[in-house]
Structure 1
């Protein structure tokens, strides 16, 4: 979603982000969002090359990808969940993020190739949620873990917003609920040894 949602438009509960949204390189530069800028320019370049050379391409734009780990090392999204449960932070940031299951992202790539009607861009976000609600879900599922219980600042909570699922559903798929994705992520972190019994008693 880095190439989709960062364009200066307000993102509030009544706003629905969809595939017609494009991140603005100018906004990204102004805000020094270099990762977002790189993703935005990369997608722009891909579409330009495709159009200039008569190619048909599809782009999948997922948000924070979590779920079972295949690799032995952490990625950015999974590390964010780990920091919520290993006692390394006593507060959560005043942010909202979208989340998606890695298995859904993999399936979307397959369906984008196999479904004849597949075309253009696809957003993949099961749910946008504030960190305050995310840690509540984790605490309800894993009360033994020392999840942070207060925000890092006293400002009003960043507003959530919606991301349309209509187009990704047109490929014939439903997205894994966030609760399931969180459970799969945490169980995988435990299996890989990133979370120990000591972590749950800090």
Structure 2
């Protein structure tokens, strides 16, 4: 038997429940003789590390700095980092086989009519929520490709440790241009500002395991068509 865990932690006050919730499930897995636990973490547990060498692509060896997360009040990053690191600590002590997947911004068709935080990033671009937008890098992966990544690390005996799950890296301006070429009817940002240097992450380890991903255009089209079907863009 295998188990996949997915916890969302959005505010400081839910950091403790996120960690305790993860550990409670892991303890239950040990008691039930589960072979492997796949924990869905986030690239938020990877990317917030000011000590990482500037310009060096971040891989699975990079962890978000907990003190820096707390100092900058980035509770989402802190909760994800705490929960994932505690999961590995528990694995060491118990002998449980724990593997984690760390996705970037997850887009793709919705299964429900409610808007989640990731989809809202794209929806806000379409609905004219921004007159001006920072031309920052967006790291995008399709929800269906994340599901395939979970199955892959679940089934492959060789899977171990952490896996960053990302597919496409694109600047905000280029993303808007691409969206406008496919869906010109929406109210996109009219101007862009340039920000500072941004980090890059790699899913090379996951790809070596056999993972692949679909084209960005497919993700965007299927996402927007699902929003239209759900009445979100009306």
TM tier, smaller: 0.7 to 0.9
TM-superposition CA deviations, 1:112-165 (whole Å, max 9, x none): 1111111110001112323222212111211111111212xx5x3343543223
Which residue does 1:167 correspond to in 2?
205
Which residue does 2:9 correspond to in 1?
none
Which residue does 2:58 correspond to in 1?
17
Using a 3 Å threshold, how does the CA distance of structure 1 residues 188 and 90 change in structure 2: closer, same or farther?
same
Is 1:37 equivalent to 2:75 in the alignment?
Answer: no
Unaligned 5+ segments in structure 1 are 197-202
Which residue does 2:167 correspond to in 1?
126
TM superposition score normalised by structure 1: 0.88
For 2:46 and 2:187, how far apart are their aligned partners in 1? 34
TM superposition score normalised by structure 2: 0.76
Using a 3 Å threshold, how does the CA distance of structure 1 residues 73 and 11 change in structure 2: closer, same or farther?
farther
Which residue does 1:200 correspond to in 2?
none
8 Å Cα contact 2:113-2:232 kept in structure 1? no
Is 1:6 equivalent to 2:53 in the alignment?
Answer: no
Unaligned 5+ segments in structure 2 are 1-42
Question: Cα RMSD (Å) of the superposition?
Answer: 1.8
2:206 alignment partner, SS class: helix
TM-superposition CA deviations, 1:90-113 (whole Å, max 9, x none): 222343331110001111111111
* Higher RCO (C-alpha 8 Å, min separation 6): 1
Is 1:182 equivalent to 2:220 in the alignment?
Answer: yes
Is 1:67 equivalent to 2:108 in the alignment?
Answer: yes
**Mapping 1:84-163, distance limit 5 Å:** 84-151=125-192, 154=193, 156-163=194-201
Q: Which stretch of the first structure deviates more once superposed, 14-23 or 161-170?
A: 161-170
1:162 alignment partner, SS class: coil
In terms of fraction of residues, the more helix-rich structure is 2
The ranges of structure 1 where at least 4 consecutive aligned residues each deviate by more than 6 angstroms after the TM superposition are none
For 1:19 and 1:2, how far apart are their aligned partners in 2? 12
8 Å Cα contact 2:134-2:195 kept in structure 1? no
